[in-house]
Amino acid sequence: MPLHASVADLDFRVADLTRIAPPNRVLLAEPRDFDCAYAINPHMVDEHGALKRVDRGLAREQWRALRSAFEAGGLRVDLVAPLDGHPDLVFCANPALPLPRELFADGKPRIVPSRMAHAERRGEVEHVVAALAALGYVVEPLRGTSRRFEGMGDGIWHLGRALLWAGVGPRSEREAWKELAERYALHVVALELVDPALYHLDTAFASLGDDACLWSPSAFDSRGRASIERLHRRPIEADAEETRRYLACNAFTADGRRVFIERRCERTAATLAREGFDVVPVDTGEFLKSGGSVFCMKLAHGPLA
């Protein structure tokens, strides 16, 4: 399948696409070494350009509560062990992209290792991929020469369908998505990211079900906006200030009903509730300092068989 770059390419209906089972597991990494030790996105520094200070004890508490919230939501937790010298490992959505088992004749899910844009995070990839391989994933590296590809930071599965929304920007390049679309005959919609504060697709877009998404229109160019609107009957706009300050779009649902979202996003939560979702507020305050929240603090995957 060629990579879809504009609304003219979207000559299909979501309801006609192959169904994939919603994720039933989350891979998590305990934030033992979590810190803002370098600045690779604008959230990590204060208004004077100094690295933000993290309260590691509080971070650990917030992470534990997030883990419990996922478990209470029926998600099985898999853990990846801490890794010395990798303060961003907690954002374990970024080092890999899982491809669901329904896409393959042998019924085995695949994992595509990331090519991290920043050297500081490159050591995470092998570690996270090894944890997923141990769970039964077949590892299929990119073959092309793309230098930037950040897994589920920029690759978001349309909930329950064989359709991948793909961020093109500071962390992932178009060429990587093109390779995946062609190699796996997959519908992949490229979305150009234009706001440096919304540097991963998961800071600007969340799939909420067949017809709904949560998004921030200003993160995209006109082509991206048109593509998202074309394939969603209910594109739900997140509050603009909450999107930038509290990563409102970095929300997650595995079942199209219960939405986990940072608790400071009160206006966005109210909108979601009005739209019929069950909102589960979680405190990710320490992790916001590093530019991440609910969605990227886990790698949603499964079922494995």
Binding site for ligand ARG (CB under 6 A): 40-41, 88, 91, 93-94, 121, 153, 200, 202-203, 290-292, 296
Minimum distance between the CB of residue 51 and ligand ARG, rounded to whole angstroms?
11
Q: From CA 183, how far away is CA 164, in angstroms rounded?
A: 14
191, with CB counted inside 10 A (0-12, 13-18, 19+), is buried
Residue 295 three-state SS: helix
Write out the two tokens for 109.
């899910």
Number of other residues whose CB lies within 10 A of the CB of residue 141: 11
- Burial classification of residue 101, based on how many CB atoms lie within 10 Å of its CB (0-12 exposed, 13-18 middle, 19 or more buried): buried
Q: State which residue, 70 or 101, has the beta carbon closest to ligand ARG.
A: 70
Q: Which is nearer to ligand ARG, 187 or 200 (CB)?
A: 200
DSSP 8: G
Q: Between the CA of residue 218 and those of 40, 166, 205, 267, what are the distances in Å? A: 21, 16, 11, 17
Based on CB atoms, which residue is closest to ligand ARG, 153 or 210?
153
In the complex with ligand ARG, which residue's Cβ is closer, 93 or 129?
93
Residue 250 Cβ vs ligand ARG, minimum distance, rounded to whole Å: 6
235 or 292: whose CB is closer to ligand ARG? 292
Q: Smallest distance from the beta carbon of 175 to ligand ARG, in angstroms? A: 20
How near is the Cβ of 242 to ligand ARG at its closest, in Å?
15
Closest CA to 294 of 262, 257, 270, 269: 262
Nearest distance from residue 62's CB to ligand ARG, in Å?
15
| CA 114-118-123 angle, 5° bins | 60
Of the pair 101, 215, the CB lying nearest ligand ARG is at 215
Q: Give me the least distance between CB of 177 and ligand ARG, in Å please.
A: 16
